[in-house]
Amino acid sequence: MELRERPHPWNDYNGPHDDVIMSCRVRLARNLAGFPFVNRASSTQCHEMLRMARRIVLTDDVAPGMIWVDINSATSRDRALLMERHLISKNFSESSHARAVAVSGDESLSVMVNEEDHLRMQLLRPGLQLEDAFERINAVDDAIESRLDYAFSSRWGYLTACPTNVGTGIRFSVMAHLPALKITGEVDRVKRAAKDLNLAVRGYYGEGTESAGDFYQISNQITLGRSETELRDEFQKQILPHIIQYEQESRQVLVDRNPILLDDRVHRAFAILKTARLLGVEEAMKLLSRVRLGLYLERIADVDLNAINRLFLQIQPAHLQLHAESRLSNEEMRQARADLVRSTLGG
């Protein structure tokens, strides 16, 4: 798979509010007129939708340098690689019907074909850049819609498999790093408040996954009866500033109340990362989260922030197997993870 050789550049760059918002995403759900939803489509119909989508999505009008990955013929490692890079969903990886994903050269854009909807296109940006991501994905959507007929109702808007996506079919989401809220025990309050605001709070890999490294995926849930701009502005200008402020205030609480304990957490995590010979993925994510927190609070120096950000991805199982160029046992993977972290951090 060509993606194996590609870097994962979009999260290498700093973005607005990246101390809390690691990345943002805009996703559009679209279906083709004249075809049933994927869960009711026949094998023949799924293959026909793949053929139609491939013909359009791989044109330069959509995005230059797009590559097509047939998920059915991809190895389990390659599917895991795509999921670890947040280019496909967990359910998409584990399904069995005909499906594929198209990915841009910089991996900021991906289009899943025959996921829950016929087309699920997403645009990723570092930090909080929802306006930029929205403009880019809109251009992609317009290019595809000029060549394919979408299922659209003048009353309901874009028709989608899940009722919560009906209307605009748009989801705005962020990958929020909330270590201070987790340490202070306030993260559950954020989850409850998010539910009251019709927001979804999910794990590191989205729906059906758990939080890892104190990362939470936060997104809007309701799209019917609102314009894309209204949804974006409410999410970006009214909701997210409160979450960002809450995390930043919690970080300051850690500094003010017990700076020695904070420094111990940060430096102990860094020391373990630099010396450990065996590391599980959950432990490594937690330790990297503490170091990332320490970097933004200036409690630790001489550590490359981008290196830390890259490690969150590089320590994942499929990426470790890719780096090793062989299939690793669980014990070998723990050793390879520790070796990679030590070599990256100069241990």
pLDDT at residue number 323: 87
Distance separating alpha carbons of residues 224 and 159, to the nearest angstrom = 10
Distance separating alpha carbons of residues 161 and 178, to the nearest angstrom = 32
pLDDT at residue number 11: 59
Q: Let me know: does 243 contact 279? Beta carbons within 8 Å.
A: no
pLDDT at residue number 9: 56
pLDDT at residue number 304: 93
DSSP string of 21-68, one letter each residue: EEEEEEEEEE-BTTS--GGG--HHHHHHHHHHHHHHHTSTTT-TT-EE
Which residue, 340, 346, 344, 313, is CA-closest to 328? 340
pLDDT at residue number 207: 72
pLDDT at residue number 7: 53
Residue spans of the chain under pLDDT 70: 1-13, 208, 347
Q: Which amino acid is at 18?
A: D
pLDDT at residue number 81: 95
